[in-house]
Amino acid sequence: MNINWFKYSSPQTFYPLAGKMIPWFAWLAAILAIAGLYISFAIAPTDFQQGEAYRIIFVHVPAAWMSMVIYIVMACWAGIGLALNARLSAMMAQALAPTGAVFTLIALVTGSLWGKPMWGTWWVWDARLTSELILLFLYLGFIALQASIDDPRKADRAGALLALVGAVNVPIIYFSVKWWSTLHQGSSINMGAAPKMAATMLLGMLIMALAFWMYTIAVALMRVRCIMLERERSADWVKELSLKSASRGKA
Amino acid sequence: MALKARHKRFVLIGIGLALIGLAAMLILNAFQSNMVFFYTPTQVEKGEVPKDTGFRIGGLVLENSLKRQDDGLTVHFVITDTAKTVPVIYKGVLPDLFKEGKGVVAQGKVGADGIFMASEVLAKHDENYMPPEAAEALKRAKEQGKTLVMPTT
């Protein structure tokens, strides 16, 4: 079977495809989130050191993962858009940024709520916390920069440069707990080593991470559809689409 | 060989990223000493810590070193990195996870008598999560001298 992938690289053909994919990802996100929360709060055992308070990990760690993964994906889309001058790639990058910023904020806030009872402080300027805060500023900077330039093509290029330069921060966040002494503990899950947490805890965390993935895809597709309509509003396919929906509305 | 314009742009982006990565590495390397959140007792011993200003010491609370004064608020304990030790005095509320044998980070100054006067004490916990029964089993196995996969730091 030979699928022509480039067919979907134009907004006109991607718009209906994205519309069809959204419900699937949204339902998957909802089901996985319910399953993940049930495992996290009802099945996973109490922790030997932190008691019940450790359960915030089931939101904190997946959100922190997503904050980094989304940034990398966003930077890749932005880079492809810059190199190929591809409209849709740049739109994908733009669509991902707000979700990435939200997950970064969630990671920071849940981390702070967790830090107070366990470490004894809401916030410290150690390498992990500081670099994650910088990530939030990078997301906000990307969003603000794109919004401040009227010409969408110029906005894409400027945003892409910022996204690519900022990508250097992601490995810094990830390895900060290895490279420097930090208050934040090391990672419980490492490549090529046994996870340092009980199996059910790990399962809950991974399912929550999957749920966040599905949510991210669903929301990014919704957002990219809006961006497509807005940017291509003078194109024929958008006019046709609005005529069709107008006539449907009358019927 | 002539490159297509878009291939050229990919190469340029690649080179740009590599240069930024290199620059970041050099900068972080230069700031290495400022990036550490705390110093170890060994570094304190060697005098690698800032003089006259406050800094943080991190390590483990030495077993059987925790003593409370009669006022109920002032505590004495010893921080160790298993090589060297630093005695600490702290007046205030300790975090829940503060325990002998567990991680701790204290902020303060070294007094003339060599005792670290802490103004803030934070608990540093490790990355292991397990039910109490598993922790108990690990402890028993350790006492019997068996080696197990879970490392405790």
Asked if B6 lies within 8 A of A83 by C-beta distance, the reply is yes
Model ipTM? 0.79
Distance from CA of B139 to the nearest CA of A (A): 12
Q: Measured between alpha carbons, how far is residue A96 from residues A143, B104, B123 in Å?
A: 10, 39, 36
Closest to A168 (Cβ–Cβ): which among B13, B20, B94?
A: B20
Neighbours of A31 (CB within 10 A): 13
B112 touching A (Cβ < 8 Å): no
Asked if A79 lies within 8 A of B6 by C-beta distance, the reply is no
Average pLDDT over residues B59-77: 89
Using a CB-CB cut-off of 8 Å, the residues of chain A touching B36 are 180-181
Distance (Å, rounded) from C-alpha B148 to C-alpha B140? 11
B121 touching A (Cβ < 8 Å): yes
Q: How many CB pairs under 8 A join A and B?
A: 117
Predicted pLDDT of residue A173: 94
B39 three-state secondary structure = strand
3-state secondary structure A151-167: CHHHHHHHHHHHHHHHC
Domain that holds residue A73: 20-44+53-187+195-250
B116 touching A (Cβ < 8 Å): no
Distance (Å, rounded) from C-alpha A15 to C-alpha A150? 23
Amino acid occupying residue B24: A
The two counts, helices (H) then strands (E), for chain B are 4, 6
Number of domains in chain A: 1
Distance (Å, rounded) from C-alpha A145 to C-alpha B43? 44
Q: Is residue A210 part of a domain?
A: yes
Distance from CA of A83 to the nearest CA of B (A): 5
Asked if B129 lies within 8 A of A54 by C-beta distance, the reply is yes
Predicted pLDDT of residue B8: 85
Distance from CA of A219 to the nearest CA of B (A): 28
Provide the angle, in degrees to the nearest 10, between the axes of the packed helices B5-30 and A169-179. 30
Q: Is residue A13 part of a domain?
A: no
β-bridge mates for residue B76, sequence order = B67, B89
Predicted pLDDT of residue A2: 61
pLDDT higher for B130 or A94?
A94
Q: Is the pLDDT of residue B147 over 80?
A: no
Predicted pLDDT of residue A94: 96
Sequence length of chain A is 251
Asked if B36 lies within 8 A of A118 by C-beta distance, the reply is no
Class of domain B37-124: mainly beta
CA max distance for chain B: 83
Distance (Å, rounded) from C-alpha A14 to C-alpha A130? 38
Q: Is residue A211 part of a domain?
A: yes
Per-residue confidence in pLDDT tens, chain A, 251 aa: 566 667 778 888 899 999 999 999 999 999 999 999 999 999 998 888 888 889 999 999 999 999 999 999 999 999 999 998 888 999 999 999 999 999 999 999 999 999 998 998 999 998 999 999 999 999 999 999 999 999 999 999 999 999 999 999 999 999 998 888 888 988 888 877 788 888 899 999 999 999 999 999 999 999 999 999 999 888 888 888 888 888 876 55
Asked if B149 lies within 8 A of A194 by C-beta distance, the reply is yes
Supply the mean pLDDT for chain B: 84
Distance (Å, rounded) from C-alpha A62 to C-alpha A76? 21
Asked if A168 lies within 8 A of B21 by C-beta distance, the reply is yes
Asked if A180 lies within 8 A of B36 by C-beta distance, the reply is yes
Phi and psi, residue A172, nearest 5°: -65, -45
Predicted pLDDT of residue A5: 66
Domain ranges of chain B: 5-34, 37-124
Asked if A120 lies within 8 A of B122 by C-beta distance, the reply is yes
| Beta carbons of A183 and A124 less than 8 angstroms apart | yes
- Paired tokens of A100: 């990435």
Average pLDDT over residues B73-89: 91
Predicted pLDDT of residue A60: 96
Predicted pLDDT of residue B153: 46
Distance from CA of B41 to the nearest CA of A (A): 13
Phi and psi, residue B84, nearest 5°: -120, 165
Average pLDDT over residues B117-124: 91
Neighbours of A178 (CB within 10 A): 11
Using a CB-CB cut-off of 8 Å, the residues of chain B touching A120 are 94-95, 97-98, 120-123
A36 burial class (0-12, 13-18, 19+ CB within 10 angstroms)? buried
Q: Measured between alpha carbons, how far is residue B18 from residues A131, B9, B11 in Å?
A: 20, 14, 11
B104 touching A (Cβ < 8 Å): no
Q: Which chain A residues have any C-beta within 8 angstroms of a chain B C-beta? A: 45-50, 54, 57, 79, 82-85, 117-121, 124-127, 164-165, 167-168, 172, 179-183, 185-188, 194, 196-198, 201
